[in-house]
Chains A and B, each alone.
Chain A
Amino acid sequence: ETGVTQTPRHLVMGMTNKKSLKCEQHLGHNAMYWYKQSAKKPLELMFVYNFKEQTENNSVPSRFSPECPNSSHLFLHLHTLQPEDSALYLCASSQDPFLNYGYTFGSGTRLTVV
């Protein structure tokens, strides 16, 4: 177990559905991140939360809505997605938002939009 747990592992949703991805870290880290991983592309940073506050929105469409109720939990709310949003969504955490000691990633949620 990596210490970062993502649920669900797989999700198939229609373009009119609303769903949420959940991430939980048990490491006492203070920063959490959402990344999108598509085939043949680098990991794309979506959102950054430091001490529960959103500090980065990397030009992500509004159909993706993050929520960080506390330092241990991070959600990604999805609505009216497009087929091109199908990808692996990875959550990561790090100990300190200002000093880089590396990320711990979860195993991801494989999202398919039909």
Chain B
Amino acid sequence: QQQVKQSPQSLIVQKGGISIINCAYENTAFDYFPWYQQFPGKGPALLIAIRPDVSEKKEGRFTISFNKSAKQFSLHIMDSQPGDSATYFCASEVSSNTGKLIFGQGTTLQVKP
């Protein structure tokens, strides 16, 4: 079964630091790579997404870096804040034009004040 492998499982960062979460995918036909943020008691919320025609996408303090040849993509959170403490999931489309997503295992981020 196709997978998306996410690491690390948990991450502790000091306030103001950079948080980096990595994902690797298997299928070169995947063409949509979102990141979701989930706070306790809430469902995941779309944070930022990228398509493979670009190598980087930035929205505020959040950046996705995409390496098509390595089949990897990562989320960078600059100037991490305690309010960023949450669980982050990467995902990719199961196959082109299906709208179905498979998710990584999740990374629990704690930003210490």
Contacts and interface: CB of A to CB of B under 8 A. Distances in A.
Contacts of A107: 41-43
Nearest to B92: A100
Contacts of B89: 42-43
B99 A100 contact: yes
A40 B89 CA distance: 12
A99 B41 contact: no
Interface stretch (A63-71, A78-86, A89-97): A89-97
B41 A104 contact: no
A104 B46 contact: yes
A90 B98 contact: no
A56 to B, nearest CB: 7
Interface stretch (B11-19, B63-71, B72-80, B103-111): B103-111
B78 to A, nearest CB: 22
A17 to B, nearest CB: 24
Chain A interface size range: 20 to 34
A76 interface: no
B54 interface: no
A107 B44 CA distance: 8
Contacts of A6: 43
Contacts of B36: 105
A59 B36 CA distance: 25
Nearest to A94: B99
Given A98-B97, A99-B97, A103-B101, A42 B4 contact: yes
Given A42-B103, A43-B103, A102 B46 contact: yes
Interface string A7-46: 0000000000000000000000001010000001111010
Given A4-B43, A96-B99, A102-B34, 16 more contacts: A2-B45, A6-B43, A31-B99, A33-B100, A43-B89, A45-B100, A90-B43, A92-B43, A97-B98, A100-B93, A102-B46, A103-B44, A104-B46, A105-B43, A108-B42, A108-B43
Interface of B: 4, 32, 34, 36, 41-46, 49, 89, 93, 97-106
